[in-house]
Structure 1
Amino acid sequence: MSEYGREVLLATTVLCSSGGSMQLVQLHRKLLQHCNISEEKFCYIVEQCPRFLLVRGSGGDPRVVARTSLRLCRSYAQDGRCGGCEALHLCKFFIFGTCRFGKGRKPCRSSHDIQSDHNYGLLRDWTLHMLSEDDLFLLLLQNDPALLPEVCLHYNKGSAPHGCCTFQNACTKVHLCQHFLQGDCLFGSRCKRHHTIDEHSRRMLEKRGLSGDIIQDLPSIYRNIHCLTAAAESTAPEKSLKLFSQPADEPNICLHFLRNSCRFQNECRQVHFHLPYKWEVLDGRTWRDMENMEDIERDFCDPSQAQSSGDQPVNFLTMNLDMARVRRLSTVSSVTKPPHYLLTTKWKWYYKGDQANWVEYGQMDEKQRTMSVTSRILEEVYVSDKNHEVTAVKGQREYIINFTDMYQRNYKHNTKRRVRRRPVFVSVAEVEKQVSAED
Structure 2
Amino acid sequence: MSNYAGVIHHATSILCSNKGSLDLQQLHRKILQRVEITEDDFWYIVKKCSRFVVVRNRERTDEWGTDCVVVAKTSLRLCRNYTKDGCRDCQELHLCKYFVYGNCRYGKGRKQCKFSHDVFSEHNYRLLRDCTLHELHEDELFLLLLQNDPSLLPEYSLPREVCSHYNKGSGPHGACTFREGCTKMHMCMHFVQGDCMFGPKCKRQHVVDEHGRRMLEEKGLSGDIIHDLPFIYQNLYRLSTPIAPYAVREHVPEPVCRPVIHKEEKKEICLHFIRRNCRFQDQCIRVHFNLPYKWEVFDGNSWKDLRHTEDIERAFCDPRNTHSPGSRPVDFLTMTRESDPVRRLSTVSSITKPAHYILTTEWLWYYKGDHQNWIEYGRPDDKQRTTSLTSRELEEAYLANRSADVTVMKGHRHYYLSFQDMYQRNPKHNTKRRVRRRPRFISIREVEDKISR
Q: For this structure pair, what is the TM-score category when the shorter chain's length is used for normalisation?
A: 0.5 to 0.7
- Give the length in aligned residue pairs: 256
Change (3 A) 1:301 1:11: farther
Conserved in 2, the CA contact under 8 Å of 1:388 and 1:403?
Answer: yes
Q: Which residue among 169, 190, 196 is the counterpart of 1:18? A: 190
1: CA distance, partners of 2:308 / 2:315:
11
1:6 counterpart residue number? 155
Report the TM-score when normalising by structure 2: 0.51
Change (3 A) 1:9 1:367: farther
Conserved in 2, the CA contact under 8 Å of 1:20 and 1:66?
Answer: no
Measured after TM superposition, the shift of residue 249 of structure 1 is 9.7
Change (3 A) 1:10 1:43: farther
Change (3 A) 1:9 1:33: farther
Measured after TM superposition, the shift of residue 413 of structure 1 is 0.6
1:346 counterpart residue number? 362
Change (3 A) 1:302 1:7: farther
Change (3 A) 1:320 1:45: closer
Change (3 A) 1:411 1:8: farther
Whether 1:254 aligns to 2:270 is yes
1:107 counterpart residue number? none
1: CA distance, partners of 2:380 / 2:395:
19
2:222 counterpart residue number? 38
2: CA distance, partners of 1:351 / 1:290:
29
Measured after TM superposition, the shift of residue 33 of structure 1 is 6.4
2:208 counterpart residue number? 29
| Secondary structure of 1:380's aligned partner | helix
Which is worse superposed, 321-330 or 6-15?
Answer: 6-15
| Secondary structure of 2:370's aligned partner | coil
Conserved in 2, the CA contact under 8 Å of 1:16 and 1:66?
Answer: no
2: CA distance, partners of 1:364 / 1:300:
23
Identity of aligned residues (%): 48
| Secondary structure of 1:435's aligned partner | helix
Change (3 A) 1:373 1:249: farther
Change (3 A) 1:255 1:19: closer
Conserved in 1, the CA contact under 8 Å of 2:208 and 2:230?
Answer: no
C-alpha distance after superposition, 1:338-358 (max 9, x if no partner) = 000000000100000000100
Structure 1: 5+ residue stretches without partners: 55-63, 69-142, 145-224, 235-247
Measured after TM superposition, the shift of residue 6 of structure 1 is 3.2
Measured after TM superposition, the shift of residue 366 of structure 1 is 1.3
Superposed CA RMSD? 3.0
1: CA distance, partners of 2:385 / 2:438:
22
Measured after TM superposition, the shift of residue 298 of structure 1 is 0.3
Whether 1:415 aligns to 2:428 is no
| Secondary structure of 2:326's aligned partner | coil
Paired residue type of 1:29: V
Conserved in 2, the CA contact under 8 Å of 1:281 and 1:287?
Answer: yes
Structure 2: 5+ residue stretches without partners: 1-148, 163-184, 251-263
C-alpha distance after superposition, 1:24-47 (max 9, x if no partner) = 997553553642342544589789
Change (3 A) 1:269 1:353: same
Measured after TM superposition, the shift of residue 385 of structure 1 is 1.2
1: CA distance, partners of 2:154 / 2:362:
44
Query: What does 1:108-147 align with in structure 2 at a 5 Å threshold?
Result: 143-144=241-242
Change (3 A) 1:325 1:300: same
Measured after TM superposition, the shift of residue 404 of structure 1 is 0.8
Paired residue type of 1:333: S
Change (3 A) 1:232 1:379: farther
Q: Which residue among 355, 368, 388 is the counterpart of 1:372? A: 388
2: CA distance, partners of 1:343 / 1:309:
25
